[in-house]
Amino acid sequence: MAYSNKVLDHYNNPRNVGSLDKSDPNVGTGMVGAPECGDVMKLQLKVDPKSGIIEDAKFKTFGCGSAIASSSLATEWIKGKTVDEALQIKNTDIVNELSLPPVKIHCSVLAEDAIKAAISDYKKKAGMNRQPVSEAVS
């Protein structure tokens, strides 16, 4: 099956490959996978706590070209957005941008899930930080 030029571009020159410090309270990590194809995708984002803007994003994906391109594009898109704006990104946006064929739509779903998982991890951390430890324990 032929990949679109945009998929090939992201596949050959993936943006933002790498990782961020997982223990940083401003970093959210999302790890998602698709058992039917054996893909696994890790997406991390770093939020500026004052502005709520995503200042950095990294990913690492083991999977097909479409999965790599979807996550590469996702990190590109979320950088500079607020957390709430990033949550608005839909898998269909990724499908359209990369011209993914129907059999590869699940790759875009995975990328959307990864963004959501990373943000929910960040929010969980931020929420825990706001609460005094004594209250959180009781």
Partner 1 sequence: MEACWQCGHPQHESLFCQFCNSLQRPTPDYYRFLGLERKLSLDSKDLQNRFYNLSRLLHPDRYLRRTPKERQYSLEATAILNDAYRVLRDHVLRAEYVLKEEGFNIGEQRSENVPPELLEEVFELNLALEELRGGDSSARPQLCEAYARFVAMQDEADNRLSELFRRYDTTGDREALAEVRGVLNRRKYIRNLVSEVEKELAASAA
Q: What amino acid positions are annotated as catalytic residues?
A: 37, 107
Nearer Cβ to partner 1 (5/92): 92
Q: Report in angstroms how near the CB of residue 129 gets to partner 1 at its nearest.
A: 21
Nearer Cβ to partner 1 (5/19): 19
Q: Report in angstroms how near the CB of residue 113 gets to partner 1 at its nearest.
A: 5
Read off the tokens for 46.
Answer: 């770093």
76, 96, 95: which is closest to 86 by C-alpha? 76
Distance, CA of 31 to CA of 21 (rounded, Å): 14
Q: Report in angstroms how near the CB of residue 116 gets to partner 1 at its nearest.
A: 10
What single DSSP character describes residue 79?
T
Judged by the rule CB under 8 A, the positions of this chain that interact with partner 1 are 31-36, 38, 40, 42, 60, 62, 106, 109-110, 113, 117
Q: Are 89 and 78 in contact (CB under 8 A)?
A: yes
